[in-house]
Structure 1
Amino acid sequence: KTDGKIGIGTTSPNHLLHVEGALSGTTGFNLTNTHASGYGLYVKGGGTGNYAFRVDNQAGTEALRIVDGKLGIGTTSPTELLDVEGTIECLNELRSKTGNDLKLNAGSANRDVFLQVNDSTIMTVRGSTGNVGIGTTNPQSLIHTSSGSSSGGLFMESNGCNAYIWAIQNTGNLINGSTAGRMGLRSANGFDFSGNDGTSIHLDIDSSGNATFKGDITVSDANPIINFTDTNNDSDFRIQVEAGTFHIEDTTNAGADRLTINSLGDIEVGGNLKTNNLLGRNLIINGAFTIAQRGTSSTSDGIHTVDRFEMGYGGENEAPTQSQHALTSSDTGPWAKGFRYSYHIQNGNQTSGAGAADYIRIITRLEAQDLANSGWHYTSSNSYATLSFWVRSSVAQTFYGQVFSQDGSPQNFPFSTGALSANTWTKVEIKIPGGTNVQFDNNNKQGMVIYWWPFGGTNYTGSPSLNTWASFSSGNRIPDMTSTWWTTNDATFELTGVQLEVGSIATEFDHRSYGEELARCQRYYQTVPDSVLSSGYGSANGYSRGSHIFVQTMRSNPTVTITETSTGNLLAQGSSKDGFYATFDGLSGTGASLFNFIATAEL
């Protein structure tokens, strides 16, 4: 061409060299260099040219360009040695030159890097956070793994003979000491492990190795063992469960048992046992109501049936009845615990309804010295006594009671039975802390009184705080209560298993033998209902004097009531805590001073 353009396969060349034609299995343009050096093809850009080499597709769109030694594919302005905009498909592998790093750079702080297999993303690096996600495209932490199968999200294995599988540290130091196949964690400040919601710590390990657990710990094995070792890793004690029996063993003494608890709850101790819950711990006398020296039924207020417990009432239209009530196997709860009697109150017919001054209550009184010497630090809120009892009512409602301390400035501690179901025995436990102003003098006078109120009118009730000591107020003894029980004809209320013990838990009831319980009751009441032929002396003028030694020393000098049953007359008498004497006159012949008596030293 006259314009200096050469055309091969075309008569209208558009470029200095324009080659055009169809190819069939052969190369369109072939340059072969047969010399050992030099270039097969050399293209040099001009001083004013933008680029040295360019390849377009059939539509004339640029596909490849070389500018200043930079190869651009899919871009007209390459900025790196190889700058590709679009998808690169690699047949086998992509590697860096030996001795050099291989870097993948998204090129922008907010762009992500994805590693895909078969067009499915398996790893993501978030450009905005640097978080790495394996199995997730939205990693929420520096390393976030997610598995959609049951095989697990993270598996680590080490074949080294002396290496950790996984070591985490924030000090920059190596973890000293390792055991094959173990996972090592290291932190200068300890570890916190949370639950699924991530809002609470379930396991905390501080920098000293102390661990705190939240929740249950399960040890699963045929015969699970927990060992306790000293700092030299020598075992001192271990806990073992074997064949349904719990063992605490002394491993320094050939594994000797120090404590065993079998499946029945039986406890065996391999040494001396120190506890405040042995026999004799119950401060209540006759709490199982086995002793009833006065009789088994009465409509009078006061102590007239079971010993040490009394019924008090006022404002009644018909007197209630108190009784020692025999339990049967149908009394679910108390019967299985060995109780055979209850203290039973049956209401009369209160036709006038519930008046402000109406009341009915069960009362038991304790000597001050029994509390003073009990071991209860009753002025400390960190020291406790526990009151427990079984209760049943024919009327479903909540009842209240109170613990009253007599000495010093009288104090009051109200409590609740909770909502009782009708005709259902319920075990109630009341934990009583010490109170600053509670006082029990070391004497034989009244120190504590415990009340149970089936009903109290508004003259006695108010709004005291439950389970809290406060100064006693006669008009604020217990909270206001419903009158349902009091206005229900023949309603019943009964107690059994009453126990007061030192400590913050209610233990099983301290059952005592009939003879032991009777002896405790006789400190307050003794009687011989049948005639007694007393030892003593007589005189020629018809006088005789007899004496009687009490079977149990009484609390104080008792009130003695003597009923003369002989032919003479009671002339004089005298008594002490240990016994009494009686003088009769008007005797003659073979007459004898026969009599019976009642001695009372109640609180």
Structure 2
Amino acid sequence: MADTFTDNFNLTKPEAGKVSWDTDYAALADLIDSRFMMAGKNAIINGACQVAQRPAPNISGSYQYGKVDRIAAKADGTPTAGTISQSETTLLGSSGYASHLSGVSTGAGGAMYWRYRIESRDVQRFISQAGIFSAKVYHNVGSAQNFTITINKANAKDDFSAVTLISASGNLSVEDATETAIEFAVADLASCGNGIEIIVKCDCGAVTTKDFYLADLQFEKGNVATELEPRPIALEFAMCQRYYQQYGEGSNEMLGTSAVHSATTAFVIIPFQTTMRTTPTVTYDSTLSNYLVRISGSSQTPTSLNNDVITPRTMSINIGITGGTVGDCCFMYSPPADGISGLIKLSAEL
């Protein structure tokens, strides 16, 4: 047992018999290791698939993050239809939510993939330890399908552009229209401290408007899968925002406030809701009319939007305006009510 209790609090284990709780020391240290130091035994954030900030994108042959936060997906076989969505379903999972590859059609060589990455800071306790990944899956292809689980490690800290295989499972057969628990244990995760990547694959072949579900993702120490450990939704949401945040989901949603800098320039400051993993990449809507700037009692469409200063905690936007008066207060807001247009997207994903 790694002595996380003494290591982190600079304490010395008491001698036997000196204090009444000595016989429970191991249990206490394990409890602190799994519950306090890591906010739970499960190293996967949003394993219950409840947090879903993004719109559901169309599935493609390249990994992209879908509606369920922290889970990326793709399809082989040149997909022609389907989305990376979220399902509220009683088909599987303890929470009733799942990452849903919905209505997918592919050609020959079709296969579905889900990918999850764990950053370096959260895998230190797994170095040279046994670890096990577990999840629940479901599909409606019409016959039993083989699923596999692959566990890789990043070659550089939090950089998954190159990875090395740790281990891969054999085929895990999943019957049609049947909730199935799958798992894969690795006896020694070795030098995985740069980060861990987990890939779940369904080797389905060509399909037409079929559905694939993944739920109850958990990665924990040891070689025995345990029941999914739930987190309060408020905590789960904040943990997801370390990697992705977006602003402007509702009609007339405030984006940020500041002041006019010149007749043609204003700056708006947006403090982030959670400190992000690293300085995020910012994406604006391509249609400027999906944003409005309010200055001196009237609104106008910005003529341009450019990043000014960005940190993991806040950002300022250089906004092109007309007829500004230096020092006037201004604020930026998103007028569309569709929850998709007028977004400011911040990504610090791995």
For Structure 1 versus Structure 2, the TM-score category normalised by the shorter chain is 0.7 to 0.9
- Give how far 1:585 is off: 3.5
1:342–1:417 distance in 2 versus 1, CA, 3 Å: farther
Partner deviation per Cα, 1:12-55 (whole Å, 9 max, x = no partner) = xxxxxxxxxxxxxxxxxxxxxxxxxxxxxxxxxxxxxxxxxxxx
Query: Match for 1:396 among 144, 151, 162?
Result: 144
- Give how far 1:539 is off: 4.0
Secondary structure at the counterpart of residue 283 of structure 2: strand
Aligned to 2:316: 581
Between the aligned partners of 2:87 and 2:284, the Cα distance in structure 1 is 30
Secondary structure at the counterpart of residue 282 of structure 2: strand
Aligned to 1:212: none
Between the aligned partners of 2:41 and 2:242, the Cα distance in structure 1 is 18
- Map of 1:192-231 to 2, 5 A cutoff? none
Letter in 1 for 2:46: N
1:349–1:429 distance in 2 versus 1, CA, 3 Å: closer
Between the aligned partners of 1:597 and 1:550, the Cα distance in structure 2 is 12
Letter in 1 for 2:131: A
1:597 matches 2:331? no
CA contact (8 A) 1:407 1:440 kept: no
Secondary structure at the counterpart of residue 516 of structure 1: helix
- Give how far 1:343 is off: 0.9
Between the aligned partners of 1:592 and 1:527, the Cα distance in structure 2 is 21
Letter in 2 for 1:570: S
- Give how far 1:310 is off: 1.2
- Give how far 1:407 is off: 2.1
Aligned to 1:309: 71
- Map of 1:136-535 to 2, 5 A cutoff? 274-275=30-31, 276-278=33-35, 280-296=40-56, 298-300=58-60, 302-328=64-90, 331=91, 334=93, 338-346=94-102, 348-351=104-107, 353-354=108-109, 359-372=111-124, 375-376=125-126, 378-379=127-128, 383-394=129-140, 395-407=143-155, 410-416=164-170, 418-436=172-190, 438-441=191-194, 447-455=195-203, 485-529=204-248, 530=250, 531-532=253-254, 534-535=256-257
- Give how far 1:593 is off: 4.1
Query: Match for 1:565 among 292, 298, 303?
Result: 292
Gaps of 5+ in 2: 1-19, 157-162, 286-290, 294-299, 334-342
Partner deviation per Cα, 1:160-188 (whole Å, 9 max, x = no partner) = xxxxxxxxxxxxxxxxxxxxxxxxxxxxx
CA contact (8 A) 1:415 1:430 kept: yes
CA contact (8 A) 2:245 2:347 kept: yes
Report which of the two has the higher share of strand: 2
- Give how far 1:297 is off: 5.9
Gaps of 5+ in 1: 1-252, 260-270, 442-446, 456-484
- Give how far 1:403 is off: 0.6
CA contact (8 A) 2:269 2:314 kept: yes
Secondary structure at the counterpart of residue 307 of structure 1: coil
1:451–1:274 distance in 2 versus 1, CA, 3 Å: closer
CA contact (8 A) 1:360 1:453 kept: yes
Secondary structure at the counterpart of residue 410 of structure 1: strand
Secondary structure at the counterpart of residue 237 of structure 2: helix
Partner deviation per Cα, 1:401-430 (whole Å, 9 max, x = no partner) = 211112267224111462222111112232
Between the aligned partners of 1:600 and 1:547, the Cα distance in structure 2 is 17
Larger relative contact order (CA 8 Å, sep ≥ 6): 2
For the pair shown, which has the larger CA radius of gyration, 1 or 2? 1
CA contact (8 A) 2:135 2:181 kept: yes
1:510–1:435 distance in 2 versus 1, CA, 3 Å: closer
CA contact (8 A) 1:584 1:593 kept: no
- Give how far 1:435 is off: 4.7
1:402–1:535 distance in 2 versus 1, CA, 3 Å: same
1:509–1:299 distance in 2 versus 1, CA, 3 Å: same
Secondary structure at the counterpart of residue 113 of structure 2: strand
CA contact (8 A) 1:387 1:431 kept: yes
Aligned to 1:134: none
1:389–1:435 distance in 2 versus 1, CA, 3 Å: closer
Q: What TM-score, normalized to structure 1?
A: 0.44
Letter in 2 for 1:597: I
- Give how far 1:431 is off: 1.6
1:272–1:549 distance in 2 versus 1, CA, 3 Å: same
Letter in 1 for 2:266: S
Q: Identity rate of aligned residues, in percent?
A: 23
Report which of the two has the higher share of helix: 2
- Give how far 1:594 is off: 1.2
Letter in 1 for 2:242: R
1:554–1:435 distance in 2 versus 1, CA, 3 Å: closer
CA contact (8 A) 2:135 2:182 kept: yes
1:315–1:432 distance in 2 versus 1, CA, 3 Å: same
Between the aligned partners of 1:350 and 1:562, the Cα distance in structure 2 is 31
CA contact (8 A) 2:166 2:189 kept: no
- Give how far 1:575 is off: 0.5
Between the aligned partners of 2:347 and 2:123, the Cα distance in structure 1 is 22
